[in-house]
Structure 1
């Protein structure tokens, strides 16, 4: 005999199946491609970039234009489904699949046009473009913009939450270039948001984009591509004390008021040649005449041990973008994207309080010992955001919803399962937690650090404050205004006041 509770459960399950069937019937009849469970293409389309996650969307829709996106949004809301946009699909925690089962995904891959206005040099970019293809398209017009190095990252999410690249100290973050956005609101309304139209929405979209709408067009300032670019690479194998001293020396160098905006760099850290040692690399770009580079870098090199290897690669700007992308090509249309099984944490450190000698020593000691013994592959990238001439930090804090305009470094801690395939070992979480704690626990108690939303972490406590700082309260209020039904929802979405 089935209990009353069991009968109620069966009734609810039957109702849910009816709703799902009606929803699929409605959305598949609108003239744009829709994949649902059972379709031969669905499995591949619903596979996350990070194989640590497996989610089953209720449907994956492929709108061809803003009206299609509006139609899909309305149908999703009508049937009570959460809706998310997927640009490149590179969300570290699969937010582009909704971050949970049963979500309506709007795949923006059809929004792949790039054009440049010859009078204003403002580019119109579809959010389905990958960074490599954006770089190529802009370069055809002699233009460029700041963005990350991985060619396969989608411009939609990248620009909506920051967007750091080696030209960011000179040009700002990708989000800082945006002058207007075409967006579909949660109720299906199609609007253009800018400083003069839906200005509060425009503010929120530049730093917390996915919580407020489906962006269908990005209008952004571009810059003249530098005629010359030099990629520099220096590598050392250091003891913990020498690695800590090297970090201190690099910090002093980048805080020099004479460091030009054209110099950009990051430290790349990994396991050393033996226990107790750290692989310490300095990589970056110089976006001015190559003959001027030596005079800029020598003051730093004089304070460091002699590198085990060094390499300068001089060429055009687009040559540098391709080189730093690591694939030997920028076009992403001919070869499918890859996958990994990984976990990431981030730390944005305050420029006013650089990493202390104590924290640097503890960090390098942890990498040299616990990192050397790790059963996962890992690296750490210490990316330069600040310095007195940084265009990132020259933007006023309240100009956009991006909440960190005082950072010296953004550190990405990345570890992946051996071979890049599941399962992901629990020790990987412990490894990265220890890396972050070695710095934070050896820094002042009131250390004003944060975390970076594009390096999203599904295990991060107090993420609202660490990602969005003082802006989160305002974002919650705007969420209530623009998405009162919480249709645009995923695990780290802005939540309206309860």
Structure 2
């Protein structure tokens, strides 16, 4: 028996060596730089942002052109490997490393060109760029686009799955700016997809791109950088959970009334200093007339207790608000990004069926009690998507693969280990799951809530419906047509 085990181990190792040799030959012939197991920089090349995951890809390849991406995909096919793209590398469940061992990773970090066309006010952005670098390049031309606040997040994955940011109520999601996508298909073919060319592929790429192709660049419409912008910050320390429930419910009513589109913001809930309390915060941004930021929010502030602190932050320029909301360098070449050890979930609440006061109360009570005793560092963000003046909701749910346009709030429910290092405490999973359950269990069984694919959750049940809703059957059909051999596969990829 021991001899058989030794033989199987030897055979497996020999097989892997043949795969590595074949990949190396293919990459050398195509002029592609790659890192393999055993190389000195393999550990850093295969490291996940979320340190809950330690994965071993077959190789990490670094293309600099679409033709090189095609060659890498072909090498993966020849060696029966599944292929994934990694942009910024911030997938919450390490999907950019395949979400499992043995995937071939195409790291896009060498493809960072940004070309702004001042005559058409469009831009071509390669998908190795990160959000901070995109913001700086567009701002230098007096332009901007909607995107998230985390400067180190890659534009490729961010725009593939939506791309919400503080300008989204005014301009839409990042994917809404895209009018063409340059990509490489599962058979190695290089295409430019738009509404006129490969329209079905274009539809799928705007909401579920990594399941269908490797995106090399996006072509986007841009907006004039606002002439005035400011960040608003309010904090209510040690708020009793009953008052916090009333505060969240009143913010929901305010949001349903439809604040002006240059306004957006989020509630930020963290641990209180004693059981039964939370720290309740609001961060907002205004991209309109100077002096109108606080008046836009005033009707909600009038329902609130006196804040512990409040301030307007920034010098009035658009790019300063991007920097203030990021909290990090926008130039991502100046310093390395940090890592974390965490578990996160999301919840997208339908605008047409908002949360009951009972659900708000149960949620805040849970945070004020279980959240006080949790051995994790946690936060909750309640991001404002909808309301009558939101650009996001103007597009039908079936217009792109992104299916949750009728959302009022998107919750990000996030807990890190106490020191941000492994291991993540086992009870932390239940703690975060029950954050979401405290809301959903106090709503009708038919409540059509969703989840946000940029806050991807590898333990989410019924994820196909929660992420893609009625669009999932069409995505399955297109997967069968465009990637019948399942070349682009990871734990939450579209399944036939």
Secondary structure of 2:449's aligned partner: coil
Paired with 2:52 and 2:114, the residues of 1 have a C-alpha distance of: 33
Contact 2:20 2:36 in 1 (8 A): no
Mean CA deviation greater in 344-353 or 29-38: 29-38
**Deviation of 1:2 (Å):** 6.5
**Deviation of 1:248 (Å):** 1.1
Matching residue of 1:451: 451
Secondary structure of 2:151's aligned partner: coil
Matching residue of 1:318: 319
**Deviation of 1:26 (Å):** 2.7
- Give ranges in structure 2 of 5+ residues lacking alignment: none
Paired with 2:407 and 2:197, the residues of 1 have a C-alpha distance of: 30
Within 5 Å, which residues of 2 pair with 1:286-435?
Answer: 286-314=286-314, 315-327=316-328, 329-435=329-435
Within 5 Å, which residues of 2 pair with 1:68-467?
Answer: 68-237=68-237, 238-257=239-258, 259-314=259-314, 315-327=316-328, 329-467=329-467
Paired with 1:73 and 1:486, the residues of 2 have a C-alpha distance of: 12
Paired with 1:465 and 1:348, the residues of 2 have a C-alpha distance of: 12
Contact 1:229 1:287 in 2 (8 A): yes
Contact 1:160 1:175 in 2 (8 A): yes
Within 5 Å, which residues of 2 pair with 1:50-69?
Answer: 50-69=50-69
Secondary structure of 2:264's aligned partner: strand
- TM-score, normalised with respect to structure 1: 0.97
What is the root-mean-square deviation of aligned Cα atoms in Å?
A: 1.4
**Deviation of 1:6 (Å):** 8.2
Paired with 2:5 and 2:318, the residues of 1 have a C-alpha distance of: 66
- Give ranges in structure 1 of 5+ residues lacking alignment: none
**Deviation of 1:397 (Å):** 1.3
Secondary structure of 1:291's aligned partner: coil
**Deviation of 1:11 (Å):** 4.7
**Deviation of 1:4 (Å):** 7.6
**Deviation of 1:38 (Å):** 1.4
Paired with 1:234 and 1:5, the residues of 2 have a C-alpha distance of: 63
**Deviation of 1:8 (Å):** 6.8
Paired with 2:279 and 2:9, the residues of 1 have a C-alpha distance of: 57
**Alpha-carbon deviations, 1:410-464, whole Å to 9, x = none?**
0000000111111111111011011000000001111110000000001101111
Contact 1:182 1:218 in 2 (8 A): yes
Paired with 2:29 and 2:420, the residues of 1 have a C-alpha distance of: 39
Secondary structure of 1:290's aligned partner: coil
**Alpha-carbon deviations, 1:349-380, whole Å to 9, x = none?**
01111111100000000000000111010000
Contact 1:24 1:59 in 2 (8 A): no
**Alpha-carbon deviations, 1:299-350, whole Å to 9, x = none?**
11111111010011241000000000012x2100121111000110000001
Paired with 2:295 and 2:12, the residues of 1 have a C-alpha distance of: 72
Secondary structure of 1:418's aligned partner: coil
Contact 2:451 2:467 in 1 (8 A): yes
Mean CA deviation greater in 410-419 or 13-22: 13-22
Paired with 1:33 and 1:134, the residues of 2 have a C-alpha distance of: 25
**Deviation of 1:96 (Å):** 0.5
Secondary structure of 1:476's aligned partner: helix
Mean CA deviation greater in 372-381 or 32-41: 32-41
Paired with 1:337 and 1:12, the residues of 2 have a C-alpha distance of: 36
Equivalent pairs counted in the alignment come to 494
Secondary structure of 1:442's aligned partner: coil
**Deviation of 1:12 (Å):** 5.7
Q: Say whether residues 1:479 and 2:476 are aligned partners.
A: no
Secondary structure of 1:216's aligned partner: strand
